[in-house]
Protein backbone atom coordinates (compact mmCIF):
# COMPACT_ATOMS: atom_id res chain seq x y z
CA UNK A 1 0.00 0.00 0.00
CA UNK A 2 0.87 3.67 0.11
CA UNK A 3 3.06 5.00 2.89
CA UNK A 4 5.06 8.06 3.91
CA UNK A 5 8.16 8.08 6.09
CA UNK A 6 9.41 11.22 7.80
CA UNK A 7 12.44 11.86 9.93
CA UNK A 8 11.71 11.66 13.62
CA UNK A 9 11.69 14.79 15.69
CA UNK A 10 11.90 16.97 17.45
CA UNK A 11 14.18 19.03 15.30
CA UNK A 12 15.62 21.89 17.34
CA UNK A 13 17.26 24.82 15.55
CA UNK A 14 18.37 28.31 16.33
CA UNK A 15 16.71 31.22 14.57
CA UNK A 16 18.06 31.80 11.04
CA UNK A 17 19.39 28.25 10.75
CA UNK A 18 18.81 26.12 7.64
CA UNK A 19 16.04 23.55 7.84
CA UNK A 20 15.69 20.18 6.16
CA UNK A 21 12.97 17.69 7.02
CA UNK A 22 13.28 14.45 5.09
CA UNK A 23 10.30 12.69 3.55
CA UNK A 24 10.26 9.54 1.44
CA UNK A 25 7.28 7.65 0.10
CA UNK A 26 6.03 4.45 -1.47
CA UNK A 27 2.98 4.59 -3.70
CA UNK A 28 0.91 2.17 -5.74
CA UNK A 29 0.47 4.71 -8.50
CA UNK A 30 1.63 8.20 -9.44
CA UNK A 31 1.23 10.35 -6.34
CA UNK A 32 0.75 14.02 -5.66
CA UNK A 33 2.84 15.15 -2.71
CA UNK A 34 2.03 17.64 0.02
CA UNK A 35 3.45 19.30 3.10
CA UNK A 36 1.02 20.36 5.81
CA UNK A 37 1.79 22.35 8.96
CA UNK A 38 0.02 22.10 12.31
CA UNK A 39 0.35 24.75 15.00
CA UNK A 40 -0.41 23.76 18.61
CA UNK A 41 -4.04 22.87 19.21
CA UNK A 42 -5.08 23.62 15.63
CA UNK A 43 -6.00 21.78 12.47
CA UNK A 44 -3.68 21.32 9.50
CA UNK A 45 -2.87 23.94 6.90
CA UNK A 46 -1.51 23.20 3.47
CA UNK A 47 2.03 24.54 3.19
CA UNK A 48 2.93 23.47 -0.35
CA UNK A 49 2.33 20.74 -2.90
CA UNK A 50 3.71 19.21 -6.10
CA UNK A 51 1.76 17.09 -8.53
CA UNK A 52 4.41 15.69 -10.88
CA UNK A 53 8.06 14.73 -10.96
CA UNK A 54 10.59 17.59 -10.77
CA UNK A 55 7.92 20.09 -9.71
CA UNK A 56 8.96 22.39 -6.90
CA UNK A 57 6.37 23.52 -4.40
CA UNK A 58 7.09 26.70 -2.47
CA UNK A 59 5.38 28.93 0.07
CA UNK A 60 6.45 31.28 2.88
CA UNK A 61 10.14 30.56 2.23
CA UNK A 62 9.66 26.79 2.37
CA UNK A 63 10.45 24.63 -0.65
CA UNK A 64 10.22 20.97 -1.61
CA UNK A 65 11.06 19.23 -4.90
CA UNK A 66 9.29 16.11 -6.14
CA UNK A 67 12.07 13.59 -6.80
CA UNK A 68 10.65 10.53 -8.46
CA UNK A 69 14.01 8.78 -8.83
CA UNK A 70 14.59 8.86 -5.07
CA UNK A 71 10.88 8.84 -4.08
CA UNK A 72 11.49 11.86 -1.91
CA UNK A 73 9.93 15.23 -1.13
CA UNK A 74 12.22 16.87 1.42
CA UNK A 75 11.15 20.16 2.99
CA UNK A 76 13.70 22.99 3.18
CA UNK A 77 13.88 26.56 4.40
CA UNK A 78 16.94 28.77 4.26
CA UNK A 79 16.37 30.71 7.47
CA UNK A 80 13.86 29.60 10.08
CA UNK A 81 12.04 31.86 12.51
CA UNK A 82 10.58 31.21 15.95
CA UNK A 83 7.12 31.44 14.36
CA UNK A 84 7.93 28.37 12.23
CA UNK A 85 7.78 26.18 15.34
CA UNK A 86 5.09 23.61 14.57
CA UNK A 87 4.57 20.02 13.47
CA UNK A 88 5.12 19.34 9.77
CA UNK A 89 3.42 16.48 7.95
CA UNK A 90 4.35 15.01 4.60
CA UNK A 91 1.46 13.40 2.73
CA UNK A 92 0.52 11.87 -0.60
CA UNK A 93 -2.55 11.05 -2.64
CA UNK A 94 -2.64 8.69 -5.58
CA UNK A 95 -4.67 8.99 -8.74
CA UNK A 96 -6.78 6.11 -9.95
CA UNK A 97 -7.16 4.30 -6.69
CA UNK A 98 -10.49 3.60 -5.09
CA UNK A 99 -9.36 5.47 -2.03
CA UNK A 100 -9.36 9.18 -2.61
CA UNK A 101 -7.77 10.52 0.57
CA UNK A 102 -4.38 11.64 1.85
CA UNK A 103 -1.88 9.24 3.42
CA UNK A 104 0.18 11.02 6.07
CA UNK A 105 3.58 10.56 7.61
CA UNK A 106 3.91 10.59 11.39
CA UNK A 107 4.89 14.26 11.53
CA UNK A 108 8.09 16.06 12.53
CA UNK A 109 8.06 18.61 15.32
CA UNK A 110 10.21 21.69 14.70
CA UNK A 111 11.32 23.85 17.61
CA UNK A 112 13.07 27.10 16.76
CA UNK A 113 14.89 28.88 19.56
CA UNK A 114 15.56 32.62 19.57
CA UNK B 1 -15.85 33.36 5.31
CA UNK B 2 -15.66 29.95 3.67
CA UNK B 3 -14.31 27.10 5.68
CA UNK B 4 -14.86 23.99 7.74
CA UNK B 5 -16.45 24.23 11.16
CA UNK B 6 -16.06 21.49 13.72
CA UNK B 7 -17.91 21.36 17.01
CA UNK B 8 -17.53 21.02 19.85
CA UNK B 9 -13.89 21.94 20.28
CA UNK B 10 -13.67 19.89 23.50
CA UNK B 11 -15.86 16.95 24.44
CA UNK B 12 -15.84 14.55 27.35
CA UNK B 13 -17.39 11.11 27.06
CA UNK B 14 -18.31 8.71 29.78
CA UNK B 15 -17.67 5.01 29.37
CA UNK B 16 -20.40 3.36 27.32
CA UNK B 17 -21.69 6.56 25.76
CA UNK B 18 -22.00 7.41 22.11
CA UNK B 19 -20.97 10.93 21.11
CA UNK B 20 -21.30 12.78 17.82
CA UNK B 21 -18.82 15.28 16.41
CA UNK B 22 -20.18 17.82 13.98
CA UNK B 23 -18.47 18.90 10.76
CA UNK B 24 -19.94 21.51 8.41
CA UNK B 25 -18.34 23.04 5.32
CA UNK B 26 -19.48 25.90 3.12
CA UNK B 27 -16.83 25.42 0.45
CA UNK B 28 -19.18 23.46 -1.82
CA UNK B 29 -16.73 20.55 -1.72
CA UNK B 30 -17.82 17.12 -2.90
CA UNK B 31 -15.57 15.04 -0.66
CA UNK B 32 -15.32 15.01 3.12
CA UNK B 33 -13.05 13.07 5.46
CA UNK B 34 -12.55 12.21 9.11
CA UNK B 35 -9.10 11.64 10.54
CA UNK B 36 -7.94 10.69 14.00
CA UNK B 37 -4.69 12.01 15.48
CA UNK B 38 -3.07 10.52 18.58
CA UNK B 39 -0.38 12.44 20.49
CA UNK B 40 2.94 12.42 18.68
CA UNK B 41 1.52 10.46 15.77
CA UNK B 42 0.32 11.09 12.28
CA UNK B 43 -3.24 11.16 11.02
CA UNK B 44 -5.21 8.02 10.34
CA UNK B 45 -8.25 7.93 8.09
CA UNK B 46 -11.52 6.87 9.73
CA UNK B 47 -14.15 7.41 7.02
CA UNK B 48 -14.52 9.40 3.84
CA UNK B 49 -17.36 10.38 1.54
CA UNK B 50 -17.22 11.52 -2.06
CA UNK B 51 -20.92 12.12 -2.60
CA UNK B 52 -24.11 12.57 -0.64
CA UNK B 53 -25.54 9.35 0.79
CA UNK B 54 -22.34 7.42 0.16
CA UNK B 55 -19.24 6.84 2.29
CA UNK B 56 -16.35 4.40 2.62
CA UNK B 57 -14.36 3.01 5.53
CA UNK B 58 -10.83 4.19 6.02
CA UNK B 59 -8.08 2.43 7.92
CA UNK B 60 -9.58 2.55 11.42
CA UNK B 61 -13.38 2.58 10.98
CA UNK B 62 -14.21 0.11 13.74
CA UNK B 63 -16.18 1.75 16.54
CA UNK B 64 -17.15 4.76 14.42
CA UNK B 65 -20.10 5.62 12.20
CA UNK B 66 -20.89 8.47 9.81
CA UNK B 67 -23.68 9.84 7.66
CA UNK B 68 -23.75 12.13 4.65
CA UNK B 69 -27.31 13.31 4.21
CA UNK B 70 -26.29 16.75 3.00
CA UNK B 71 -23.33 17.87 0.93
CA UNK B 72 -22.16 20.32 3.55
CA UNK B 73 -22.39 18.04 6.59
CA UNK B 74 -20.48 14.90 7.62
CA UNK B 75 -21.02 14.07 11.32
CA UNK B 76 -18.95 11.39 13.04
CA UNK B 77 -20.35 9.24 15.84
CA UNK B 78 -17.88 7.65 18.24
CA UNK B 79 -19.70 4.62 19.60
CA UNK B 80 -19.18 2.69 22.80
CA UNK B 81 -17.54 -0.01 20.69
CA UNK B 82 -14.52 2.25 20.20
CA UNK B 83 -12.32 1.11 23.08
CA UNK B 84 -9.78 3.89 23.01
CA UNK B 85 -11.53 7.00 21.73
CA UNK B 86 -9.42 9.67 23.44
CA UNK B 87 -7.82 11.57 20.56
CA UNK B 88 -7.89 14.69 18.40
CA UNK B 89 -10.38 14.38 15.54
CA UNK B 90 -9.97 16.30 12.31
CA UNK B 91 -12.56 16.81 9.61
CA UNK B 92 -11.48 17.76 6.09
CA UNK B 93 -12.96 18.40 2.67
CA UNK B 94 -11.87 18.75 -0.96
CA UNK B 95 -13.17 19.09 -4.46
CA UNK B 96 -12.99 16.12 -6.78
CA UNK B 97 -11.63 16.35 -10.27
CA UNK B 98 -13.65 14.47 -12.85
CA UNK B 99 -10.78 12.05 -13.12
CA UNK B 100 -8.43 11.00 -10.38
CA UNK B 101 -10.55 11.97 -7.44
CA UNK B 102 -8.72 14.15 -4.91
CA UNK B 103 -5.48 13.83 -6.88
CA UNK B 104 -3.72 17.15 -6.80
CA UNK B 105 -6.60 18.96 -5.14
CA UNK B 106 -6.04 20.62 -1.84
CA UNK B 107 -7.66 19.06 1.19
CA UNK B 108 -8.77 21.66 3.74
CA UNK B 109 -8.99 20.89 7.44
CA UNK B 110 -11.14 22.12 10.26
CA UNK B 111 -9.75 23.23 13.63
CA UNK B 112 -10.30 19.83 15.20
CA UNK B 113 -12.19 18.40 18.16
CA UNK B 114 -10.60 17.00 21.30
CA UNK B 115 -12.42 13.97 22.69
CA UNK B 116 -11.55 12.67 26.15
CA UNK B 117 -13.00 9.65 27.94
CA UNK B 118 -13.66 10.25 31.63
Mean pLDDT of A67-73: 96
Tell me which residues of chain B have a pLDDT lower than 50. 101
For strand B10-13 and strand B113-117, is the pairing parallel, antiparallel, or unpaired? parallel
- Beta carbons of A106 and B108 less than 8 Å apart: no
Which of B48, B100, B112 is facing A95, going by the closest CB pair?
B100
Q: Which residues pair with B5 in a beta bridge?
A: B24
Question: B111 and A42: CB-CB below 8 Å?
Answer: yes
Q: pLDDT tens digits for A18-43?
A: 999 999 999 988 888 999 999 987 88
A37-68: per-residue pLDDT in tens? 999 878 889 999 998 899 999 999 999 999 99
Of B101, B104, B112, the CB nearest to A43: B112
Task: Reply yes or no: is the peptide bond before residue B17 cis, omega within 30 of 0.
Answer: no
Task: For A9, name the nearest residue in chain B, comparing CA atoms only.
Answer: B40
Number of separate helices (H) and strands (E) present in chain B: 0, 11
Amino acid sequence: GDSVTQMEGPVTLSEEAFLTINCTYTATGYPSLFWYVQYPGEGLQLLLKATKADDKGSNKGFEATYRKETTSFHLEKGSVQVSDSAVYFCALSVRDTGRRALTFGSGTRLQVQP
Amino acid sequence: DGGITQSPKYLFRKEGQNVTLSCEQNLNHDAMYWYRQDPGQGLRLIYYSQIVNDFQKGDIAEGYSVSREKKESFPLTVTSAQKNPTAFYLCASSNLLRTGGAFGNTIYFGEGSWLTVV
